Amino acid sequence: MPLYAYKCSSCHVIFEVRKAMSANHDQEPCAKCGKKATWLPSLFASKEGYNLRLPTGNPYREYSVDKNWE
């Protein structure tokens, strides 16, 4: 199942959720505060041989749904 990134409109936390490709991706409750979070579109690569320009920096998000929130 793919990972989808979301950003909370209230606390501005960015987190990831595993969802089926057929699921609705418009909104998800925030992993930290439970308010509305909106989907952040992301890049993907499909085949070798293409000249892709990927963003530099850490490819992973700082927050995750799997993280233990205290």
Which residue's structure tokens are 């490709």? 21
Indicate the pTM of the whole model: 0.58
Check: CB of residue 31 under 8 Å from CB of residue 65: yes
Distance CA 27, CA 65 (A): 15
Report the candidate in 17, 27, 4, 16 with the shortest Cα–Cα distance to residue 62. Answer: 16
- C-alpha to C-alpha distance for 66 and 55, rounded to whole angstroms: 25
Per-residue pLDDT tens digits of the chain, which is 70 residues long: 788 899 998 999 999 888 888 888 778 899 889 899 999 887 765 666 666 666 666 666 666 566 665 5
